């Protein structure tokens, strides 16, 4: 089998936009995404001798970027902030969606059949995808990363917990909050009735 050679002089021109959009989608911060892409190119260049040609350059670079993103979320400042963020926002979140005078039941402004609506045709439409993208951009990055891993990339909960170094309890709180915030945003955009 012929081993493909790398053309690292063209990486920036060929792959920056692709890698950046993936990184930005995962971390939600322009500067962080730019840094991750830079680190990816640097790591790939340093490890160019290990490239065996079984995958395309683009696939190989994407694998490196995914590992960089995993490392990013494993940094103590990021993992510590998940729990801190959930603790700090719990009260405001509870007051926004639950009726405190009625034993913590859903507020009247939130529909009773919150999780039961299905509109498969609309969910795959371009119009919905546009609104989904807008609402995901507004979601706090700590919630967005876990939400995207579960619902966009269809990763298993166990892998998501490992990747983001969060507990199972934190995972379910993050999933619940992100779905609630997303639904609220889509309602404000007039997408959900």
- Residues 145-192: pLDDT tens digits? 888 888 888 889 999 898 888 888 888 888 888 888 888 887 776 666
For residue 3, pLDDT beyond 80: no
> Residue 125: is its pLDDT beyond 90?
no
All domains in the chain, ordered by first residue? 8-74 (1.10.1740.10), 76-188 (1.20.140)
> What φ, ψ does residue 166 adopt, rounded to 5°?
-125, 160
* CA-CA-CA-CA dihedral for 161, 110, 84, 22, to nearest 10: 50
pTM (two decimals): 0.48
pLDDT at 107: 60
* More confidently predicted of 52 and 90: 52
Going from the C-alpha of 192 to that of each of 57, 116, 146, 171, the distances in angstroms are: 41, 12, 23, 25
Environment class of residue 13 by beta-carbon count within 10 Å: exposed (0-12), middle (13-18) or buried (19+)? exposed
């Amino acid at each position: 089998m012929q081993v493909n050679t790398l053309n690292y002089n063209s990486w920036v021109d060929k792959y920056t936009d692709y890698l950046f959009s993936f990184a930005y989608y995962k971390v939600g911060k322009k500067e962080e995404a730019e840094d991750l892409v830079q680190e990816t190119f640097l790591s790939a260049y340093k490890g160019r001798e290990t490239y065996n040609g079984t995958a395309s350059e683009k696939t190989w670079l994407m694998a490196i970027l995914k590992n960089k993103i995993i490392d990013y979320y494993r940094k103590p400042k990021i993992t510590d902030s998940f729990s801190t963020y959930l603790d700090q926002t719990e009260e405001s979140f509870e007051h926004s969606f639950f009726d405190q005078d009625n034993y913590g039941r859903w507020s009247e402004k939130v529909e009773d059949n919150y999780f039961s609506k299905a509109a498969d045709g609309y969910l795959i439409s371009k119009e919905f995808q546009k609104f989904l993208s807008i609402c995901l951009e507004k979601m706090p990055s700590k919630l967005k990363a876990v939400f995207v891993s579960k619902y966009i990339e269809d990763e298993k909960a166990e892998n998501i917990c490992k990747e983001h170094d969060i507990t199972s309890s934190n995972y379910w709180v993050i999933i619940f909050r992100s779905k609630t915030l997303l639904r609220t945003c889509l309602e404000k955009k007039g997408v959900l009735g």
